[in-house]
A and B are shown apart, each in its own frame.
Chain A
Amino acid sequence: AQSVTQPDIHITVSEGASLELRCNYSYGATPYLFWYVQSPGQGLQLLLKYFSGDTLVQGIKGFEAEFKRSQSSFNLRKPSVHWSDAAEYFCAVGARSGNTPLVFGKGTRLSVIA
């Protein structure tokens, strides 16, 4: 069965500092990979996705993520965090075939301090 682990429940970074949010997945083959962001009281907004090709993917708001097959990881990074990035971040995996649903991690809450 697919599973997603986000080891960090809560991370606090200073504005302007770099950020890395970890995501590890368990899946029998190469899955589709996604990062979503959720601001308080809002739905999930897609930050970026990996389907195939270049393992370093660029997303919106200056985020990027790198797919590492050998480590079953898809970590999210941003070189310089802005106060508006404070939110909940979810990593998700999906199957490449069939109708199996996305499986989400439990999320990492990001706080940004001045």
Chain B
Amino acid sequence: EAGVAQSPRYKIIEKRQSVAFWCNPISGHATLYWYQQILGQGPKLLIQFQNNGVVDDSQLPKDRFSAERLKGVDSTLKIQPAKLEDSAVYLCASSLVSGRLQYFGAGTRLSVL
């Protein structure tokens, strides 16, 4: 069974630039999550999708972050414009049932200079 795929693995941008991350969940997993993990901290949920609908985006900075999950499969997370404090690892996870076992991708490490 293929795992959660994320790309790119690394990204370096300057502040005020835009960036996008891509995630392909495990086949058949209806729930998809995007987490932000700042160095030295645990992952923090940014947004949760159930199929292609948003379940929870309460901690997503909506003035600069956006996410979509068209057709209920792949998802993209965008930051525009980026700030220095957005430097983090962005993790995508998926689960068959919401709130249960989550499987994580390798993450995208973003550095904003």
Contacts and interface: CB of A to CB of B under 8 A. Distances in A.
A106 B40 contact: yes
Contact of B42 (A46, A94, A101, A105): A105
A94 B33 contact: no
Contact of B99 (A4, A45, A95, A107): A95
A90 B42 contact: yes
Tell me the dominant secondary structure on chain A's binding face: loop
Contacts, number: 59
A71 interface: no
A10 to B, nearest CB: 10
B88 to A, nearest CB: 14
Interface stretch (B13-21, B67-75, B77-85, B101-109): B101-109
Most chain B CB within 10 A, of A32, A42, A44, A106, is at A44
B104 A99 contact: no
A32 to B, nearest CB: 7
A83 to B, nearest CB: 22
Interface of B: 4, 6, 33, 40-45, 48, 50, 55-56, 91, 93, 98-107, 109
